[in-house]
Amino acid sequence: MNVKLTDIAEKTYFQITNKFSDSKAKIFSDKTMSVIEMITLNNQIGSRYKKTPFRKFLISNHFYLFYKIEKGIIYIVLFWDNKRNPVDLDIILSS
């Protein structure tokens, strides 16, 4: 299954990694790649997010990866810091 990163996912990924030291950014990057690999092997592995087409997968204690599947493509939609306001998450995902 093909994987595509949305513009928002790329932006939020770099917002997160830019807050980290080089070593922590590398660890986060490695965990992210591992999660994406797991999703490609079993695309239903993430839990559904409310009643939306999105699924989420916990990368580390504070960060989720949100994705959706359309026409055989896995779209990585967003990386989310759990410390942020969840209302903002719903706004972003609905746009």
pTM exceeds 0.85: yes
Give residue 49's pLDDT band: very low, low, confident or very high (50, 70, 90). Answer: very high
Query: Is the model's pLDDT at 9 over the cut of 90?
Result: yes
Task: For residues 20-46, give the mean pLDDT.
Answer: 95
pLDDT at 1 over 90: no
Measured distance CA(46)–CA(76) in Å, rounded:
12
**pLDDT (tens digit per residue) in 62-91:** 999 999 999 999 999 999 999 999 999 999
Is 57 exposed, middle or buried, given 0-12, 13-18 or 19+ CB atoms closer than 10 A? middle
Rg over alpha carbons for the chain, rounded to the nearest Å, is 13
Confidence of residue 95 (pLDDT cuts 50, 70, 90): confident
Report the domain count for the chain.
1
CATH label of the domain that carries residue 20: 3.30.2310.20
Structural domain span for residue 24: 2-94
